[in-house]
Amino acid sequence: MTEGTKRIGVLTSGGDCSGLNAAIRAVVSSATTKGWEVYGIHNATDGLIVRPLDYQKLTMADFEFPFATLGGTMLGTNNSGNPHKVTHWDGTTEEVTDEELLARFKAGVEELGLSALIVIGGDGSMAIVSKYCKAAGISMIGIPKTIDNDAPGTDMAIGFATARSVVTEALDKLDTTASSHHRVMIAEAMGRGAGHLALESAIAGFADVALIPEIPYRYEKVVERLKLAFAEGRKHALVVIAEGIKKPDGEYSYSSNGRTFGGISAYFAEKLAKDGFNVRANVLGHTQRAGTPIAEDRILASGLAVRAIDLLAAGKNNRVVIHKDGHFADEDLDVILHLANSPVNPDGEMVKIAQSLGIYVGEK
Ligand code: F6P
């Protein structure tokens, strides 16, 4: 490394989504124009904690193969939710204390000669990694990603736009088979406690019902709306349900791991069948986190990455790049971490648009 050359690291952390590779590419591309070196850290922070270190030097040659147009993350990630559980090269796991984590991270950073780390992840990952970076004495810039689009401080996070397109395409497909069989098709969308994905896809996919965690619903009103669709002369209907809504009895529906949401559409299908509908449930699942990132996500990833590199060039630290009111900007990480996640505003524009289209969105 010649004098004046900056060497930075980049990693992805938390659940994957489409657009992560585009963001990694943009980090490398933008850093390269400044004459910097970039090291991709594998499997979130694990790559700096395991021994030998798990990383790869990244140059534009790594993008000869069109990684940036693929979903997933070429660096690997981890969303175990337990920062103390470290996965080694051979797949074995180890529980590491906070003290040991910080010490190994610092030694890893020193071994690679990194002066900064770009963290592409959710606010939870950013909070954890910023603690490590402070202890290691290096700068950190966060780039928000989540298909749930509820990351604090930014209007858009990487992955949401593509996921919304995936759900919309699924609705287009469900629409034709629903029409052939005169059925009600239910699509279950991801989103944890946020309904952005379900609501916006419902608008784009011309659904009749969109149930989201932010707005309580009445089951009888769902039935009423579906009956209306048939009374209007249509022979099928589409329902989008966010995975994080409660059942009428107030309980959530969890997937087999008991940790993440899943299965609420099956509950609704059973109930609607008892009420006389010919109905099928479709859990769209992890397909929503995959696929070629659409242009919107690539542009977002590129703009956020360029801003992240510019911030480091200006000597800034502990910031998160965001997209707010149509512009790229940045905010202090500690300010971001004190903001609540941003779910759908029940009084917001999207809900009003859905209602005006006749979509039943719950009791608003
Ligand atoms: O937060 C992103 C997300 O895809 C949620 O929408 C979903 O509930 C969860 O992650 C699924 O996590 P996992 O990949 O652990 O099943």
Task: For residue range 235-294, list pLDDT tens digits in order.
Answer: 999 999 999 999 999 999 999 999 999 999 999 999 999 999 999 999 999 999 999 999
Average pLDDT over residues 108-113: 98
- Cβ atoms of 75 and 10 within 8 Å: the answer is yes
Provide the token pair at 297: 């996500």
- β-sheet with 116-121: strand ranges across: 55-58, 37-41, 7-12, 116-121, 139-144, 319-324, 327-332
> What's the CA-to-centroid distance between 84 and ligand 1, angstroms?
20
Closest CA to 47 of 144, 124, 97, 119: 119
Average pLDDT over residues 52-73: 94
Catalytic residue, candidates 123, 148, 208, 330: 148
Q: Tell me which H or E stretch contains 345.
A: none
Name all residues whose Cβ lies below 6 A of ligand 1: 15, 79, 146-148, 190-192, 243, 260-261, 289
Q: What is the CATH number of domain 7-158+293-324?
A: 3.40.50.450
Class of domain 162-288+345-356: alpha beta
Residue 360 has pLDDT above 80, yes or no: yes
- What letters, b where the CB count within 10 A reaches 16 and e where it falls short, cover 289-328? bbbbbbebbbbbbbbbbbbbbbbbeeeebbbbbbbeeeeb
Q: In the annotation, is 275 catalytic?
A: no
Between helix 123-136 and helix 98-112 the angle, nearest 10°, is: 70
Residue 143 has pLDDT above 80, yes or no: yes
Whether residue 213 is preceded by a cis peptide bond, meaning omega within 30 degrees of 0, is no
Distances, alpha carbon 262 to alpha carbons 178, 192, 205, 246, in Å: 22, 9, 21, 11
- Match 């592409």 to its residue by tokens: 120
Residue 1 has pLDDT above 70, yes or no: no
Confidence of residue 169 (pLDDT cuts 50, 70, 90): very high
- List, as own/partner pairs, every contact residues 103-109 make where C-beta atoms lie below 8 angstroms and the sequence separation is at least 24, other chains included: 104/48, 104/49, 104/51, 105/45, 105/48, 105/49, 105/132, 105/135, 105/136, 106/132, 106/135, 106/136, 106/137, 108/47, 108/48, 108/49, 108/53, 109/9, 109/48, 109/136, 109/138
What per-residue confidence (pLDDT) applies to 67? 87
Residue 318 has pLDDT above 60, yes or no: yes
What per-residue confidence (pLDDT) applies to 138? 98
Mind listing the pLDDT tens digit for each residue in 205-242?
999 999 999 999 999 999 999 999 999 999 999 999 99
Q: Whose CA is nearest to atom 16 of ligand 1?
A: 260
What per-residue confidence (pLDDT) applies to 3? 54
Residue 346 has pLDDT above 80, yes or no: yes
> What's the CA-to-centroid distance between 243 and ligand 1, angstroms?
10
Distances, alpha carbon 159 to alpha carbons 81, 145, 162, in Å: 19, 6, 6
Residue 358 has pLDDT above 90, yes or no: yes
CATH topology identical between 7-158+293-324 and 162-288+345-356:
yes
Determine the 3-state secondary structure of 56 from DSSP. Answer: strand
Q: Whose CA is nearest to atom 10 of ligand 1?
A: 15
Residue 122 has pLDDT above 80, yes or no: yes
> What's the CA-to-centroid distance between 64 and ligand 1, angstroms?
30
First to last CA, the chain: 60
Confidence of residue 2 (pLDDT cuts 50, 70, 90): low
The reply to whether the predicted model has a pTM over 0.75 is: yes
> What's the CA-to-centroid distance between 192 and ligand 1, angstroms?
7
Confidence of residue 65 (pLDDT cuts 50, 70, 90): confident
Beta bridge partners of 239: 186, 209
The residue extents of the domains of the chain are 7-158+293-324, 162-288+345-356
Ligand 1: which of 260, 264, 287, 289 to mutate, judged by most atoms within 8 Å of the beta carbon? 260
Cα 23 to Cα 15: distance, rounded to the nearest angstrom: 15
What per-residue confidence (pLDDT) applies to 82? 85
What per-residue confidence (pLDDT) applies to 348? 98
Ligand 1 atom with least separation from CA of 197: 6
- Cβ atoms of 201 and 344 within 8 Å: the answer is no
Classify strands 37-41 and 139-144 as parallel, antiparallel or unpaired.
unpaired
Ligand 1: which of 77, 192, 212, 243 to mutate, judged by most atoms within 8 Å of the beta carbon? 192
What per-residue confidence (pLDDT) applies to 83? 84
Ligand 1 atom with least separation from CA of 147: 2
What per-residue confidence (pLDDT) applies to 4? 60
Average pLDDT over residues 296-303: 98
Cα 346 to Cα 225: distance, rounded to the nearest angstrom: 19
- Match 């309580």 to its residue by tokens: 216
- Cβ atoms of 142 and 166 within 8 Å: the answer is no
What per-residue confidence (pLDDT) applies to 349? 97
Q: Work out the mean pLDDT of the chain and round it to a whole number.
A: 96
